[in-house]
Structure 1
Amino acid sequence: MGTWAVDAFGNDYAQDWAEDLKETSNLDAVENTLDVALEDNGDELEMPFAVEALVAIEVLARLQGKGGARTEDSAAVDDWADARKPKARLRTDLAEKAGRAIERILSERSELRELWEESEHYQEWLASVEDLRSRLTA
């Protein structure tokens, strides 16, 4: 995976997911992505699913007007969310799933967390995920 930033958008999987989001008109992709991240078959949460879940959670935050920094990397999600904001209401079940997904991403059974722990940027990544969580729940 190509990674260039600690935020949710700074890697190839996130960019691919965001591009696919443009083909949808509702929150089905977000919900499906969170459901995959929450599937617990006793295995570790694989990195691609964790990365995609973080972008899906960013979609929810942006729909609430609580998006993070707008960058070139976040443009596809920003545009998608901007087009839907006037009508969007965050479903409480999706907010709950998003919170549980963040817990799973930060758990010891998360490949993404393990990979970041092995890097010199772990604390920055952790702060980025915690910032996302706080924006979602604020």
Structure 2
Amino acid sequence: MGTWAVDAFGNDYALDWAEDLQETRNLEAVENTLDNVLDNGGAYLEAPFAAEALVAIEVIARLQGHWGLRNEESEAVDAWVEQRPQKARPDLAAKAHQVIERILAEQSELRELWADSEHYADWTASVAELKGRVNVG
């Protein structure tokens, strides 16, 4: 995985997912991405699915008005949110929190990859910050 930053947008999987989002008009892609992680159960969660899910959660946070980092990498998601003002359903926010817990769990390749780097604390702080921007309820 090409990774250059600890935020959700700082990797190739995230940017590819964000580009694909442009082809959609509703939150179906967001929900499907979250469901891919949750349907995995306790099995080993591969890094691409986790990276995509973090960007899907960024969509939810932004739709709630909690934008976070805006940069060149986030432009596709930012534009999608601005062009399709809608509310993120409360059940999606609840799923987002569950997905983040799953990504940070023992059986997560993305967590393992970051744990092997000197930037693990920065990555976990970034994920925690994202979780804090998604309001449940």
Q: Same fold (TM over 0.5)?
A: yes
**Can you list the C-alpha shifts for 1:109-137, whole angstroms capped at 9, x where unaligned?**
11100100000000000000000000012
- Residues in 2 aligned to 1:122 and 1:42: alpha-carbon distance in whole angstroms: 22
Deviation at 1:69, TM superposition (A): 1.2
In the superposition, the TM-score normalised over structure 1's length comes to 0.95
The two structures, once aligned, show a CA RMSD in angstroms of 1.1
Match for residue 114 of structure 2 among 113, 116, 134: 116
Aligned to 1:96: 94
- Residues in 1 aligned to 2:132 and 2:45: alpha-carbon distance in whole angstroms: 22
Aligned to 2:8: 8
2:17–2:52 CA contact under 8 A, matched in 1: yes
- Residues in 1 aligned to 2:63 and 2:87: alpha-carbon distance in whole angstroms: 8
Number of residue pairs aligned between Structure 1 and Structure 2 = 136
Q: Which runs of 5+ in 2 are unaligned?
A: none
- Residues in 1 aligned to 2:87 and 2:104: alpha-carbon distance in whole angstroms: 27
**Can you list the C-alpha shifts for 1:64-123, whole angstroms capped at 9, x where unaligned?**
1101111000000000001122xx112111111111000000111111001000000000
Report percent identity of matched pairs: 65
- Residues in 1 aligned to 2:64 and 2:40: alpha-carbon distance in whole angstroms: 28
Aligned to 1:64: 64
Deviation at 1:8, TM superposition (A): 0.2
Moved over 6 A (4+): none
Aligned to 1:132: 130
In the superposition, the TM-score normalised over structure 2's length comes to 0.96
- Residues in 1 aligned to 2:41 and 2:112: alpha-carbon distance in whole angstroms: 19
- Residues in 1 aligned to 2:65 and 2:42: alpha-carbon distance in whole angstroms: 35
1:63–1:84 CA contact under 8 A, matched in 2: no
2:66–2:134 CA contact under 8 A, matched in 1: yes
Secondary structure in structure 2 of the residue aligned to 1:137: coil
**How does 1:22-101 map onto structure 2 within 5 Å?**
22-85=22-85, 88-101=86-99
